[in-house]
Structure 1
Amino acid sequence: MHKRARAFLFYHGTIPLHELPMKFAIAVFSPAHAPSSRRALRYAEAVLASGHEIARLFFYQDGVHSASANVVAPQDELDVAGQWRAFIEAQQLDAVVCIAAALRRGVLDEAEANRYQRPAVNLPKPWELSGLGQLHEAAQVADRLVCFGGD
């Protein structure tokens, strides 16, 4: 490495900071069929493949549809909702669905279906309903918060 370039590297002990693993929080605001949801999934896969960590995945606004067990992708399209579920289960990630956004869009776990006396549950494991505070906490814990989709 050129001497001049090396002068701008920062070190933690003997490891250059740019080589340390980072923690990412990823927020998904778009539904599973949107290109930004697919990009978010590919980004999350790349984060882990690069040796980094995902502190939390947070699904908000129309992104909560990715968690619904009732999403059916047409035969000629990718099942991004199914890919999200498989990825989260395989990597054992913390995947949070905003409860307010989910209720507004009819995405319910068993507790909320009982609470609101609805006949169907469509939020299976590994998803967890929780509040917007979970996104705030993830942003505090992570080195980077990366958002996909939304207005």
Structure 2
Amino acid sequence: MKFAIALFSSPSAPSSRRALRFAEAALDGGHDIVRLFFYGDGVHSASGNIVSPQDETDVARQWRELIGTRQLDGVVCIAAALRRGVLDEAEALRYQRQAANLPVPWVLSGLGQLHEAAQLADRLICFGGD
């Protein structure tokens, strides 16, 4: 089965850990993930500036590692990211900010990527949100 996963909550939220564990279990079970889409506060998972306390699980790092090692499509909604100060090099330059904080393997893109993922997948699974 092919899944698209959308995450709407911050990396400190329980739903972010659940989404991560679901993605790992799906991949370990032989399923495909056509895209991971981070929207709303979910874009904080992609920030290179997230620092987790030593006694807490670093969910943002785990997302980055999962996307990198499994070569997944990790898309961050550009509008939500800009509102929350999550910028890649191009957007930092465009808006004349001093630094970018969106490292590889993350990609900024629009909501059309979520729509496309829903069309390509057998199931769209959403985690978090209000």
* TM-score interval (norm. to shorter): over 0.9
Listed as ranges, the gaps of 5+ residues in structure 1 are 1-21
| Equivalence map 1:102-121=2 (5 Å) | 102-121=81-100
Matched, 1:37 2:22: no
Q: Displacement of 1:150 after TM fit?
A: 0.2
Moved over 6 A (4+): none
Matched, 1:62 2:41: yes
User: Pick from 60, 71, 78: which aligns with 1:99?
Assistant: 78
Structure 2 length normalisation: TM-score?
Answer: 0.99
2:36, 2:95 → 1: CA distance? 26
Counterpart of 1:72 in structure 2 is: 51
**Relative CO higher for 1 or 2, CA cutoff 8 Å, sep ≥ 6?**
2
SS in 2 for 1:81: helix
Q: Deviations over 1:49-71 (max 9, x none)?
A: 11100000000000000000000
- One-letter code aligned to 2:84: R
SS in 1 for 2:42: helix
Counterpart of 1:27 in structure 2 is: 6
Q: Displacement of 1:38 after TM fit?
A: 0.3
Larger Rg: 1
- One-letter code aligned to 2:24: E
User: Pick from 121, 139, 145: which aligns with 2:118?
Assistant: 139
Aligned-CA RMSD value: 0.3
Q: Displacement of 1:149 after TM fit?
A: 0.1
Listed as ranges, the gaps of 5+ residues in structure 2 are none
Structure 1 length normalisation: TM-score?
Answer: 0.86
Q: Tell me the matched-pair count.
A: 130
